Chains A and B, each alone.
Chain A
Amino acid sequence: MIIKMKYKRNFREADRLIEKYYDGLTTGAEEKQLKKFLMQSGLPERYEPEQAIFGYFEHKKEKTSFRIPSYMRWAGVAAAIALILLGPQLFVSVNQSDYAYINGKKVSDIREIKSQALASLGDISSSNDEVQENLNNINDNELIEKQLDVFSAIEK
Chain B
Amino acid sequence: MRSIKKYVILTLLVGLGSLLPTLRAQNDLQISKAFDQYGERKGVVMVELTDEMLNGYDFSLFKSLTIKDNPSAADFIRKCLAKDESGAKKVKQVVSNGVPTSIYLQLPRKGQLYRLILFNEIISPEHKITLIYIESKNDSEDVLKLILKKK
Binding site for B on A (CB under 8 A): 77, 80-81, 84-85, 87-89, 92, 96-104, 113-114, 116-131
Q: How many residues of B contact A (CB 8 A)?
A: 44
**Which residue of B4, B39, B43, B47 contacts A116 across the interface (Cβ within 8 Å)?**
B47
Hey, which chain A residues are within 8 Å of B22, CB to CB?
88-89, 92, 96
* Bound Cα distance A99, B46 (Å): 8
The answer to whether A118 touches B130, judged by C-beta atoms less than 8 angstroms apart, is no
Binding site for A on B (CB under 8 A): 4, 7-8, 11-12, 14-15, 18-19, 22, 24, 39-50, 52, 54-55, 57, 62, 64-66, 94, 102, 118, 120, 122, 128, 130, 132, 147-151
Hey, which chain B residues are within 8 Å of A96, CB to CB?
22, 24, 48, 50
Closest-CB distance, B99 to chain A (whole angstroms): 15
Hey, which chain A residues are within 8 Å of B130, CB to CB?
120, 123-124, 127
Closest-CB distance, B105 to chain A (whole angstroms): 13
Closest chain B residue, CB of each to CB of A124: B118
The answer to whether B42 touches A104, judged by C-beta atoms less than 8 angstroms apart, is yes
Pairs A-B, 8 closest by C-beta atoms: A120-B64, A84-B15, A88-B19, A123-B130, A84-B11, A127-B120, A101-B46, A92-B22
Hey, which chain B residues are within 8 Å of A119, CB to CB?
45, 66
The answer to whether A122 touches B45, judged by C-beta atoms less than 8 angstroms apart, is no
* Bound Cα distance A126, B15 (Å): 44
Candidate in B45, B149, B150 with the most chain A CB atoms within 10 angstroms:
B45
**Which residue of A84, A92, A113, A120 contacts B12 across the interface (Cβ within 8 Å)?**
A84
Closest-CB distance, A94 to chain B (whole angstroms): 12
Tell me whether A117 and B64 are in contact in the complex, defined as CB-CB below 8 angstroms, given that A98-B50, A102-B45, A103-B44 are known contacts. Answer: yes
Closest-CB distance, A131 to chain B (whole angstroms): 6
The answer to whether A77 touches B7, judged by C-beta atoms less than 8 angstroms apart, is yes
23 contacts between A and B (CB under 8 A): A80-B7, A80-B8, A81-B11, A88-B18, A88-B19, A98-B48, A99-B48, A100-B45, A100-B46, A100-B48, A104-B40, A104-B44, A114-B55, A120-B66, A121-B54, A121-B57, A121-B64, A123-B130, A124-B118, A127-B120, A127-B130, A128-B148, A131-B94
The answer to whether B150 touches A125, judged by C-beta atoms less than 8 angstroms apart, is yes
Hey, which chain B residues are within 8 Å of A128, CB to CB?
148
The answer to whether B48 touches A103, judged by C-beta atoms less than 8 angstroms apart, is no
Hey, which chain B residues are within 8 Å of A129, CB to CB?
151
* Bound Cα distance A99, B7 (Å): 37
Tell me whether A117 and B46 are in contact in the complex, defined as CB-CB below 8 angstroms, given that A88-B19, A124-B130, A128-B148 are known contacts. Answer: no
Closest-CB distance, B91 to chain A (whole angstroms): 11
The answer to whether B11 touches A101, judged by C-beta atoms less than 8 angstroms apart, is no
